[in-house]
Amino acid sequence: MTRITRSGDCRNSPKNAFMQEVAIGLLTGAETLEASLAETVVLRRNGHADVTGAEAVRTLAADMFRDHHDVLIVHHAISHGKVGAANCVAVKGDARTAFAVVVEFATAKADRVAVIDLYGV
């Protein structure tokens, strides 16, 4: 089970909190992630083919990250308009890996994610 340390950036911002939960869902492979994704969501990673579709993105996240770290730290989760971002660190033993997640929301309401750009993996 991954121990999660959440950012303090989200106390007064539901959109920041949503962004944080998307990053946590993505980096822990949580099954709840799929409910946050638009059906046609696209995940992009440098050097890899794009992954399209909510189920495919959640499955990839589960395969990539589940049980691959003991601690996940979300340093910051921010949003503005239709864009959100989070920077995180995953820790497994003595190894630390930094991640950045940048998303484009499907609408300014920020209740579904249309595009995910994942950096650090």
Q: Which residue has the higher pLDDT, 11 or 5?
A: 5
d(CA 52, CA 44): 9
Beta strands in 34-112 (DSSP E): 37-45, 51-52, 71-80, 83-92, 95-105
Among candidate residues 104, 101, 107, 102, the one with its CA nearest the CA of residue 115: 104
pLDDT for the residue 117: 96
Is residue 66 pLDDT above 80, yes or no? no
The pTM (predicted TM-score) of the whole model is: 0.91
> What is the average pLDDT score of the chain?
90
Give the model confidence (pLDDT) of 45-57 as tens digits.
988 999 999 999 9
Give the model confidence (pLDDT) of 75-119 as tens digits.
999 999 999 999 999 898 899 989 899 999 998 888 999 999 999
d(CA 7, CA 94): 22
For the beta carbon of residue 114, count every other beta carbon within 10 angstroms. Answer: 16
